[in-house]
Amino acid sequence: MPDTHAISDSTVTLGAEADYECVDLFLRDFILVQAIKGGMETGLLQKLNRTPATCSSLLSDSGFDAKGLEFLLLTLSHYNVVVKNRAEQYELSPEFSKAFYFKEYLQAKIEFSNFLAPDLMQNTTDFLHSEAQFMQSSRLFELFDYHRALKVTPENVQFTRRWVRLTTALTRHEAGVCLAHHDFSECLRIMDIGGNSGEFARQIAEQYPQLFATVVDLPVVCDIGREHTAKTAVAQRLEFYSANALQDPLPGQQCLISFKSVLHDWPTEACERFLQQAYKSLKNTGELLIFERSAIDLTQTPVTFGLLPTALFYRSYRTPEEYIPMLQQCGFRQITIKRLPLETGFHMITARKS
């Protein structure tokens, strides 16, 4: 008989599935980030991505004045975003060309960091003294106002759409890491709790044509998710289920239930409740999957400008070990931990319903 109480723990070697992290090289500095933002908003970087151009040609078909263009090009040159070729034309550097391939991810991280920069500039003392104090004054917690996702109104949809768009852009790339290191081939029905726009479930369904996926989230988020996935090839195998997953009954007999970047948002008591709800909804021997960012080790990972949205949640992230007693208390067994050395480190925890 296998020891169902044994815990497997390993660190995964990442490959091409983590290539999107090349973006972070260009998100370290405030001025660099603003220059890239300006370069994208004016279309300059898109133009140079298509074909090299001289300074004079860029000036003639853009709204720049000479000094403005000079400021932008020289700043971008200093940070190796653009370089000059032998014909004295500007073009994207090889390193930034790789990052620009993930343009949507780059834009989302810039928008997210710029939105939250005033939080730290204006409320540094609150952040250092108390999470509760910081929550009262921070725009971060205004952005993720889940109460605005309870009732479907045009105003609430517009408000919620912003953070759903940002988190979807992150999930679009992070999901590939999970899919590279977890096998869903035996699953017929999966449920993603707090599944947001359905992007995570969509990618799983596209790779595994045998399964049907249910995305559980609040009503406004589900409406946005239906719109996000409506024209995809797997739309008929995706269901959105509006519910408060902390208290409402959820669909049962699931082969697998996932929490992707959800549990760290909640205090321990709520986290335990989520896990209990998942346990009830799994079929016997069904599998739980937790995939999220680990507690940040600042001795190894310095906070950069692009890491600001993550850093402001510094107190919230847990180590994988913190989930083990919660899982065991619910009745889960055969717990495995895979540590994924991404930007700040992620973990993937699986466990079986006994």
Do 226 and 301 lie in one domain? The reply is yes
- Please give the pLDDT value at position 242: 97
Do 240 and 179 lie in one domain? The reply is yes
Do 63 and 122 lie in one domain? The reply is no
Q: Is the pLDDT of residue 95 over 70?
A: yes
Do 102 and 22 touch, CB atoms closer than 8 A? Answer: yes
Q: What is the CATH number of the domain that holds 252?
A: 3.40.50.150
- Please give the pLDDT value at position 1: 44
Boundary-marking domain end, from 101, 122, 145: 101
- Please give the pLDDT value at position 21: 96
Do 139 and 332 touch, CB atoms closer than 8 A? Answer: no
Boundary-marking domain end, from 57, 72, 101: 101
Do 140 and 199 lie in one domain? The reply is yes
Boundary-marking domain end, from 81, 101, 121: 101
- Please give the pLDDT value at position 4: 55
Do 273 and 332 lie in one domain? The reply is yes
Residue environment code for 209-219, b if the CB has 16+ CB neighbours within 10 A, otherwise e: eebbbbbbbbb
Do 197 and 337 lie in one domain? The reply is yes
What is the rounded average pLDDT of the residues 84-98? 96
pLDDT in tens, 175-197: 999 999 999 999 999 999 999 99
- Burial, 183: exposed, middle or buried (Cβ in 10 Å; 0-12, 13-18, 19+)? exposed
Do 114 and 260 lie in one domain? The reply is yes
Do 156 and 97 lie in one domain? The reply is no
Q: Is 285 inside a domain boundary?
A: yes
- Please give the pLDDT value at position 132: 86
pLDDT in tens, 133-178: 888 888 777 788 889 999 999 999 999 999 999 999 999 999 999 9
Do 311 and 166 lie in one domain? The reply is yes
Report the C-alpha gap between 236 and 314 in whole angstroms: 38
Residue predicted with more confidence, 6 or 202: 202
Look up the domain containing 56 and give its range: 22-101
Question: Among residues of the chain, what percentage have pLDDT more than 90?
Answer: 86
Q: Is 2 inside a domain boundary?
A: no
Do 64 and 182 lie in one domain? The reply is no
Q: Is 1 inside a domain boundary?
A: no
pLDDT in tens, 51-77: 999 999 998 877 789 999 999 999 999
**Structural domains of the chain, count:** 2
Beta-carbon contacts of residue 65 (< 8 Å; ≥ 6 apart): none
Write out the two tokens for 97.
């060309």
- Please give the pLDDT value at position 63: 79
